[in-house]
Structure 1
Amino acid sequence: MSIIDHIELPVADAEVSRRFYEAALEPLGLSLVITIDPARTAHGGARLGFGRKGYPSLWLHEEAGSSLPVHVAFSAGDRKAVDAFHNKALAHGGSDNGAPGVRERYHPTYYAAYVFDPDGNNIEAVCQTE
């Protein structure tokens, strides 16, 4: 059982973030599983749920105002998925925050890539095996 059930991030523009996360998370086996209309939300902004097997583990909620950036690391099944995450994220509005590679400061098989999403959040994909 996972220690985290879900994570929710505020975003400035739900459509921009949807395109970014759909592309960046696809290599990791995550997809958009639910969209909640702004009229049905407490803040009046769209809510998007991404996950695996129909369960939304990552929620994005569109909300005006400032927020501090966060760091989220997604598990990748292999190093090729980390590479694909990085490439797709950059092609869909992300900016580089660390190209794919081994981060020996964590441990010898920690293979990760980092990008900033459209709202400046530090998003990572990591494979911790060879």
Structure 2
Amino acid sequence: MDIINHIEIGVADVAASRRFYEAVLAPLGLSLVVSVDPARTARGTPRYGFGRDGYPVFWIHGEEDTGRPIHVAFTAVTRAQVDAVHAAALATGGTDTGAPGIRERYHPRYYAAFVLDPDGNNLEAVCQSA
């Protein structure tokens, strides 16, 4: 069983972040599975949920003050998925903060890439298998 049910973050530009996350999460097999109309939200901004099999595990919503950046690490099954996430992020406005590669400081099989999303949140894609 997964320990985390879902994560939700506030973003300054919901439309731009939706495009960013659609591209970045696709290599991991995650897609937009739920869109909540602004009229049905407490903040009056759209909410988008990304996941697999119809279940959203990562949500974004509009937020005027996004606050401090966060770090989210997405599990990749293969190193090729890590590479694809990194490439998709850079192609859609992300900022490189760590190209795909082994991170020995964690362990010898820790293959990861790091990017900042449009709001400065630190995203990681990580594959921990050979």
Q: Confirm or deny a common fold (TM above 0.5).
A: yes
Give the TM interval when normalised to the shorter protein. Answer: over 0.9
Question: How many residue pairs get matched?
Answer: 130
Deviation at 1:39, TM superposition (A): 1.1
Give, as a single letter, the amino acid of the residue that structure 2 aligns with 1:41: T
Task: Name the CA distance, whole Å, in 1 between partners of 2:54 and 2:88.
Answer: 22
What is the match of residue 64 of structure 2? 64
Native 8 Å contact 2:33 2:50 kept in 1: yes
Q: After superposition, give the CA deviation of every residue in 1:30-55 in whole Å (9 maximum; x if it has no partner).
A: 10001111111001111000001110
Q: After superposition, give the CA deviation of every residue in 1:65-122 in whole Å (9 maximum; x if it has no partner).
A: 2411000000001000000000011000101010000000000000000000000000
Deviation at 1:57, TM superposition (A): 0.2
Moved over 4 A (4+): none
What is the match of residue 82 of structure 1? 82
Note the aligned Cα RMSD (angstroms): 0.6
Native 8 Å contact 2:66 2:119 kept in 1: no
Structure 2 residue ranges without an equivalent (≥5): none
What is the match of residue 113 of structure 1? 113
What is the match of residue 53 of structure 1? 53
Give, as a single letter, the amino acid of the residue that structure 1 aligns with 2:22: E
Question: What percent identity do the matched residue pairs reach?
Answer: 65
Task: Name the CA distance, whole Å, in 2 between partners of 1:31 and 1:13.
Answer: 19
TM-score (ref. length: structure 2): 0.98
